[in-house]
Amino acid sequence: MSHAPLPGTVFLVGAGPGDPDLLTLRAARLLMKAKVVVHDGLVDPAVLAMAPRGARFVSVAKQRARHTMRQEDINALLVAEALAGHDVVRLKGGDPFIFGRGGEEAEACHAAGVPVQVVPGVSAALGAAASAQIPLTHRENASIVSFVAGQCKGLADQNWAGLAGVGRTLVIYMGVATAAAIAEKLMADGLAPTMPVAVIENASRPQMRVVRGALAGLADLVERERIKSPALIVIGEVTARGDIMELQAVVEAAR
């Protein structure tokens, strides 16, 4: 008499902002013994290379308006692999529960009786800001930080009042393609056109770029510098702290 295998565990693992050195120890340990890896497209190849030879990789890369696999199908894949008795490492850029749909995947697994463990990662916002040496909070400039997604439908109808301004920092994920609409929306809500902004491209990777400007020129900045995803937009006075930028320039010049 045959018995169905015990379900495997789905590990929702944050892969961090890009640099493999920013993986948590637990994430690295799970990856190094993984047999099935379901990963996002933005996970760095060097991170994937940590998996053992013979591991099976499934890419479920998503790009704006182009999905290789619908979220419902990703959920079903995770459940099917686990019910077949396989432990699954589900690698997500940044942290699984910050704009990563990790909550949806956890709910789908729980509903199917599949055990889930969540391994937090360095979020894209925190990793990008640290790599660019932009303090998201600062005693003199900001005591409030907000994270928003910039590619949501109905962007103009969302209430962002109070998310950005004096004493506040706003970090926008997936906002490159909608930079013009974001700037217009924030200025219409009363944010000063001169509010400093920074755009961080390929955070924590060797090809990282940081470009700075003012809110009114955000769309032109993105177009002129040919910014491509992955990139985050940071809006707030912390992006223009000259003391940090000047000290960094002095250190770089002394090398």
3-state secondary structure of 247: helix
Query: In this predicted structure, what is the pLDDT of residue 250?
Result: 47
What per-residue confidence (pLDDT) applies to 200?
Answer: 98
For residues 133 and 55, the answer to whether their CB atoms sit within 8 Å is: no
Query: Could you say which DSSP state residue 140 is in?
Result: T
Domain locations along the chain: 10-122, 125-245
Assign 151 a pLDDT band (cuts: 50, 70, 90): confident
Q: How confident is residue 55, by pLDDT bands cut at 50, 70 and 90?
A: very high
CB 147 within 8 A of CB 98: yes
Q: How far apart are CA 209 and CA 45, in angstroms?
A: 19
CATH number of 125-245: 3.30.950.10
Q: And the tokens for 182?
A: 């974001």
- The pLDDT, as a whole number, for residue 91 is 98
Give the CA distances from residue 117 to residues 57, 58, 89, 222, 254, in Å, rounded to whole numbers and listed in that order.
19, 19, 10, 38, 46
Q: What is the pTM of this model?
A: 0.88
Write down the architecture of domain 10-122 according to CATH: 3-Layer(aba) Sandwich (3.40)
Tens of pLDDT, residue by residue over 176-201, are 999 999 999 999 989 999 999 999 99
User: In the numeric block, which tokens belong to residue 96?
Assistant: 């699984």
How would you list the strands of the sheet with 231-235, edge to edge? 142-149, 167-173, 231-235, 196-201, 209-214
Residues designated as active site: 40, 62
